Amino acid sequence: MLSGSNIRKPVTKKLLFSLHKIRWMKVDILEFIEGARLAKGVTVIIDVFRAFSTACYAFDSGAVRLIATAEVDEAFNLKKSYHNSVLVGERDEKKIKGFDFGNSPTEIIKTNLQGKTAILTTTAGTNGLLNANNASSLITGSFVNAGAIIKYIKTINPPVVSLVAMGYRAAISAEEDLLCAKIIESGLTGKRRDFKKSISNLRLGPGKRFFEPKNLDYSPPTDFFLCTMIDRFDFILKGEKRPDGNIDLVKIDL
């Protein structure tokens, strides 16, 4: 029969090895375009309502490539270079004239994007990506894949993480973006909390606009529910700078 000391010894060695691998991680929460410019390390640009929720649904609907750009004119130029492409985006929350889709998950899930390139431009989210020039790597952030983002960052274990809440029109603090940042921060620091009630309560705050009759054509109630489906997707969207200055969003399954 093995003695107690013989049983504990290998367990202790394994524990010490695991502790040796742990790196202290600094997590900063920033806001707006200025926050994107200040961001360092692994940077998550967060736009829950609706850019980076829409982007996830675009890949789920079959898109093979997604290009993020800051300018409407540049989006039209990109479409000329990609024959099998669609334009997705908004200004003042509404679909841009000449675009195929607005910045709406509801529109995207009704469409088969199999094999297509989606070209996305929005007021806040895509501008955040284009301005994060000091980041060592870029990831988009939303509720629908927050768990995958946490898993990915913990796997690469970087010393610095910047979480940039882009806000409403990149100018006003957005409760949903800051909440998403707190969810990711909580997962990275090991202080897991239940955020389900806080997400649900967004309907009474910034989510109210999705239920106003005047917004139904471009911002329907289903957008709210699709954007708040926590951890619906088990993939991240990683941003890679293109030679033309725009950003390719690359889907990485986890």
With contact defined as beta carbons under 8 Å apart, do 43 and 132 qualify? Answer: yes
Name the CA dihedral angle for 143, 146, 147, 153, rounded to a multiple of 10 degrees: 180
Q: What pLDDT does 193 receive?
A: 84
Tell me which residue range forms the domain holding 197: 24-253
Does residue 186 lie within any of the structural domains? Answer: yes
The CATH number of residue 61's host domain is 3.90.1560.10
Residue type, 111: T
Does residue 147 lie within any of the structural domains? Answer: yes
* 169 upstream amide cis, omega within 30 of 0: no
Does residue 4 lie within any of the structural domains? Answer: no
Does residue 10 lie within any of the structural domains? Answer: no
Give the predicted TM-score (pTM) of the model: 0.90
Q: What is the torsional sign of CA 110, 235, 103, 204?
A: positive
Number of domains in the chain: 1
Q: What pLDDT does 2 receive?
A: 40
- Does an H or E element contain 56, and which? helix 51-60
Q: What pLDDT does 24 receive?
A: 84
Q: What pLDDT does 33 receive?
A: 98
Does residue 96 lie within any of the structural domains? Answer: yes
Cβ partners under 8 Å of residue 184, min gap 6:
44, 46, 141, 146, 149, 150, 153, 163
Q: Which residues of the chain are under the pLDDT cut of 50?
A: 1-22
Q: What pLDDT does 23 receive?
A: 65
pLDDT digits (tens, 9 = 90+) for 17-35: 333 344 689 999 999 999 9
